[in-house]
Amino acid sequence: MAVTSEVRERILIVRIEREEKRNAIDVETALGIDEALNRLDDDPELWVGVLTGTRTVFSAGTDLKNGMDARTERGGEYGIIRRKRVKPLVAAVEGVAFGGGFEIALACDLVVASRSARFALPESLRGLVATSGALFRVIRALPLHLAKELLITGAELNAERAHQFGFVNRVTEAGQALEGALAVAEEICASSPVSVRTTLAAIAAQLEEQDRKGWAETARAQETVRASADMQEGINAFFERRPPRWQGR
């Protein structure tokens, strides 16, 4: 199975387990994430979710061969990106969270990352743009100029720097992100679940208009790159394992 889940008291742990594919998200994986998060949303006995990958990688984003349609009715892209949630979800990040993997972390409420974690948005290096929320969520999560750097250079951000700027809540030693996230989840469970859900709903309501505009601008950007010669060149270069030869059109 590409996705497994486990209950520990009031906490649902969701694991992406495609390590041989760097936990890239294909249709099966998106459906697995969706099913697990539906359970979190719908089961009143579950108060907090923790989403993680394996001990060496969180997620390298979309599986370019089998993941271009990896979306669900309730969750949107990857089964999570457009999901309307009121229960807290904590990302536990080991290794790379690139492209859509970074966007999955941005869609969570809190992030715990080990010192091995690396975040990046490499889409521009392939003639693409980030399409799963990063164009507006990363500029809320990080300082504007740093967010722009990540979006237009593909630069990597390590866990310590991400923590310094407030995107990562806590940093752990390598291999300990899940344990750190569970500790955070247990702290959340000490609060009233009604208070927690009401708080998150109030925050989400204040961001609704920003999100609508963000998705509209994302769609506009996606339409522009789809019409470009650079996008096809970037994809060809990726699969042919060579540097792209950009035309700028």
Residues labelled catalytic: 103, 123
CA-CA-CA-CA torsion sign (46, 79, 175, 120): negative
Q: Is there a contact between 8 and 45 (Cβ–Cβ < 8 Å)?
A: no
DSSP summary character for residue 5 = E
Rg, the chain, Cα only: 17
- Beta carbons of 133 and 147 less than 8 angstroms apart: no
Residue 106: name the closest of 166, 46, 56 by CA. 166
Give the number of other CB atoms < 10 A from CB of residue 175: 13
Q: Which residues pair with 170 in a beta bridge?
A: 112
The owner of tokens 């989403």 is 51
Give the integer Cα–Cα distance in Å for 29 and 180.
Answer: 24
Check: CB of residue 131 under 8 Å from CB of residue 223.
no
Q: Determine whether 13 is exposed, middle or buried from the number of CB atoms within 10 Å of its CB (0-12, 13-18, 19+).
A: buried
